[in-house]
Amino acid sequence: MAGSREDGTPDRGGSRSGAGTLELRTRVLLYGYGLFDGLILIYPVYLLYFRDQGLSETETATLLMLWPISSLLFELPSGYLADRFSKKAILIIGHIVYLGCFAVWHVMPTFIGFGIGLALWGMRGALSSGAFRSFLYEEMEARGARDAFVRVLGQINALKWTAMLVAYSVGPALMAFGFTLVLALTVAAALTALTALILVRRRAIPIADDGTATLSGFFQALHGHVVRQPAVLRVILFGGALLGTGAVDEYWPLLGTDLGVPEATLGVFLGAIMGAQALGDLIAHRLAALKPLFIGATIAGAGAILLLGVAFGTLAVALPAVVVFAMLYQSALTANSGLLHDRVEGSVRASAASILGFASNVISILLFYAIGQISEHAGVPFAIALAGGLFVVIGLAGLRADLTAGRSAGQGRGKGA
């Protein structure tokens, strides 16, 4: 059938897509948004500031729980609001909420103030998780450049990873001049990102042909475009499992120290991982150009590398294995995002991404608990090796689902011939 692939994915060469490119102004603004949005100089030092303000370890752990809880509460409503009203407006509101976090921390550096700030930060994550990719996709589609979505998204993400690497390198050093300076520079970067976002000219026209003006109509559209579409559900389930299990990256510093990386060089190890993730984003469009089953195969291979490298390798083998895993994982994650946005039709695109995000948050919480329990009894390397095995299972499940879908599509065509 013209305009679609055998697996139900819209053909990237179809008439809706075209071979256009983003104009220079829009590209620069989007790149600037990615760069400055990732320049969170406060990120590597904010827990140290909490401790300096007299918070105990228990109080800090309690505060950190507010982040995922806030994200969970606002994830699904944010997708609905982005689809129902304006994705760009939701992104701007999210940025203002994000700035509110730092304002609260500045005027109220107490347990309550830090809690409010982290809740706002988590809310911002929910407001932007599904909205930004959907906003980018639809703006590129409106400009006839949908083919380049994964490439541009990967480039924006790579700039974010680069900015995060700079933040991790510079942020701790700037603490010598006081936390207020680090906070002010973080706010300046966030304001720059917000300005770049505001200056992006909208061309996408809101879709209003599927009765989403009312809440009941919206859920009917969600049911029709997502729930009753196996191709979409496969991508959401696979992506939710992939993104949620990816929370294992929070344990890279502990893994490094447990494997024997000196604390003085731990930053080099973490920097190499971020560089690998940036590279993975830059090559994601090549993976996206292949059949969808290669995404599952990539994750299965990445999981095997992590499992074998950490479980049986020496320090010289385990650390490169983690770096290679990070590159392959990030490439597959970004390619899967392109697959989701290609398959979802109608005005529920951000909601579909938010469902994926909600599922990933639940999985992340369960993963943190499991790794914590396993690490306490068997050590962090063993827990990370098991996580590698979990990635193998997720990748093989995705691969099998795509193979099964392909065979079903072939049988359907054979019966109709």
**pLDDT value of residue 88:** 93
Sign of CA dihedral 282, 164, 317, 379: negative
> For 37-59, how does the pLDDT look when each residue is reduced to its tens digit (9 = 90+)?
999 999 888 888 888 899 887 88
Say if residue 173 is in the same domain as residue 302.
Answer: no
Give dist(CA 224, CA 42) in Å, integer.
43
Q: What's the mean per-residue pLDDT of the chain?
A: 86
Which range has highest mean pLDDT (46-60, 73-87, 101-115)?
Answer: 101-115
pTM above 0.75, yes or no: yes
**pLDDT value of residue 1:** 35
pLDDT at residue 2 is higher than 60: no
Domain that holds residue 276: 209-410
Which residues are CB-neighbours of 313 under 8 A, at least 6 positions away?
Answer: 321
Last residue of a domain, one of 188, 206, 224: 206
Last residue of a domain, one of 206, 241, 262: 206
**pLDDT value of residue 29:** 95
**pLDDT value of residue 17:** 42
Last residue of a domain, one of 173, 206, 239: 206
* DSSP bridge partners of 10: 4
pLDDT at residue 230 is higher than 50: yes
- Any idea what the CATH number is for the domain that residue 373 is in? 1.20.1250.20
Whether 13 is covered by a domain: the verdict is no
Percent of the chain exceeding pLDDT 70 equals 89
Higher pLDDT, 23 or 15: 23
The owner of tokens 């599927």 is 210
Say if residue 253 is in the same domain as residue 382.
Answer: yes
Say if residue 138 is in the same domain as residue 220.
Answer: no
Say if residue 231 is in the same domain as residue 253.
Answer: yes
Whether 12 is covered by a domain: the verdict is no
Whether 385 is covered by a domain: the verdict is yes
Whether 240 is covered by a domain: the verdict is yes
> Residue 93: how many CB atoms within 10 A of its CB?
20
**pLDDT value of residue 377:** 87
Say if residue 101 is in the same domain as residue 238.
Answer: no
Say if residue 163 is in the same domain as residue 258.
Answer: no
Helical pair 315-343 and 293-312, crossing angle rounded to 10 deg: 160
Mean pLDDT of 270-281: 94
pLDDT at residue 285 is higher than 80: yes
> For 168-224, how does the pLDDT look when each residue is reduced to its tens digit (9 = 90+)?
889 888 988 999 999 999 999 999 999 999 999 988 776 555 555 566 766 777 777
pLDDT at residue 327 is higher than 80: yes
Please report which confidence band the pLDDT of residue 387 belongs to, taking 50, 70 and 90 as the band edges: very high
User: How far is C-alpha 97 from the geometric centre of its chain's CA atoms?
Assistant: 19
pLDDT at residue 297 is higher than 70: yes
Backbone angles phi, psi at 134, to 5 degrees: -65, -40
pLDDT at residue 268 is higher than 70: yes
Whether 5 is covered by a domain: the verdict is no
Whether 1 is covered by a domain: the verdict is no
> Residue 193: how many CB atoms within 10 A of its CB?
22
Say if residue 185 is in the same domain as residue 232.
Answer: no
Give dist(CA 15, CA 23) in Å, integer.
20
Give dist(CA 405, CA 410) in Å, integer.
9
**pLDDT value of residue 369:** 84
**pLDDT value of residue 210:** 53
Say if residue 173 is in the same domain as residue 322.
Answer: no
Say if residue 350 is in the same domain as residue 284.
Answer: yes
Which residues are CB-neighbours of 132 under 8 A, at least 6 positions away?
Answer: 87, 91
In our burial notation (b when 16+ CB lie closer than 10 A, e otherwise), range 252-284 reads: bbbbbebbebeeeeebebbebbbbbbbbbbbbb
**pLDDT value of residue 211:** 58
Say if residue 247 is in the same domain as residue 189.
Answer: no
* Tally of domains in the chain: 2
Give dist(CA 298, CA 327) in Å, integer.
10
Say if residue 178 is in the same domain as residue 287.
Answer: no
Please report which confidence band the pLDDT of residue 20 belongs to, taking 50, 70 and 90 as the band edges: low
Whether 196 is covered by a domain: the verdict is yes
Give dist(CA 373, CA 314) in Å, integer.
24
> For 135-162, how does the pLDDT look when each residue is reduced to its tens digit (9 = 90+)?
999 999 988 888 899 999 999 999 999 9
Which range has highest mean pLDDT (11-15, 84-88, 318-322, 377-381)?
Answer: 318-322
Please report which confidence band the pLDDT of residue 19 belongs to, taking 50, 70 and 90 as the band edges: very low
Contact 364, 201 (CB under 8 A): no
User: What count of Cα atoms within 13 Å lies in the side-chain half-sphere of residue 171?
Assistant: 23
DSSP notation for 14-48? STTT-S----HHHHHHHHHHHHHHS--TTTTTHHH
**pLDDT value of residue 111:** 94
Give dist(CA 301, CA 295) in Å, integer.
10
Say if residue 86 is in the same domain as residue 225.
Answer: no
Whether 45 is covered by a domain: the verdict is yes
> Residue 294: how many CB atoms within 10 A of its CB?
17
Judged by average pLDDT, the poorest of 145-159, 183-197, 242-256, 401-415 is 401-415
